[in-house]
Amino acid sequence: MRPFDEVVAEHGAVVLRVCRAMLPVAEADDAWSETFLSAMRAYPDLRPDSNVRGWLTTIAHRKAIDQIRGRNRRPWPVDPLPIDGVPQGKGEAGADERALAALDRAGVVNELQAALDGLAPKQRGAVVYHYLAELPYAEVGELLGTSEAAARRSAADGIARLRTTMRGTPR
């Protein structure tokens, strides 16, 4: 079995994209850390033929849901906190984080997050798993509890709705 730090380096950026698709930046970083802490504990028991990317994506999705549930139990601040920059140092995600920071300064990140939040749960899951985690539709269907064709349809519907919602957003 490969050393765990190689797994983090290889899949860290994908896990971060999944977390950021579901959560605000600060909470996504926490979910990323919790994902790899949980994965590190379970990694020795993982079957050698397992799909590590799918396994990590599933953990990240569940950690993000935990963050959302926790957030819903806490009081919300009146105004959102500004994000000055994006922390560096999670594997190959540096370029992704710099691009995200540039988009955030342009105001696109909040609009995209709001558009993703507006999708139906299966559409959002299909878009996140297929386009951000780069999982094939067969695995997306398994993760969502549907068929491959239904996952493909959910992703297409989700992307169509995002295009409609995001039309006119500065790029």
Q: What is the pTM of this model?
A: 0.57
pLDDT in tens, 99-139: 666 656 656 667 777 888 889 989 999 998 898 888 899 99
Q: Is residue 55 packed enough to be buried (19+ CB in 10 Å), middle (13-18) or exposed (0-12)? A: middle
Sign, CA dihedral 72-73-79-80, equals negative
Sign of CA pseudo-dihedral 42, 47, 48, 51:
negative
* Whether the Cβ atoms of residue 58 and residue 125 lie closer than 8 Å to each other: no
Pseudo-torsion of CA 21, 22, 25, 29, nearest 10°?
A: -100
What is the residue whose two structure tokens read 């994209």? 17
What are the structural domains of the chain? 1-83 (1.10.1740.10), 106-171 (1.10.10.10)
Determine which helix (DSSP H) or strand (DSSP E) holds 144, and give its type and residue range.
helix 137-144
Note down pLDDT in tens along the chain; length 171 residues. 889 999 999 999 999 999 998 888 888 999 999 999 999 999 999 998 999 999 999 999 999 988 888 877 776 555 555 555 444 444 444 566 666 666 566 566 677 778 888 899 899 999 988 988 888 999 999 988 999 999 999 999 999 998 888 876 544
Burial per residue of 63-84, b for 16 or more beta-carbon CB atoms within 10 angstroms, e otherwise: bbeebeeeeeeeeeeeeeeeee
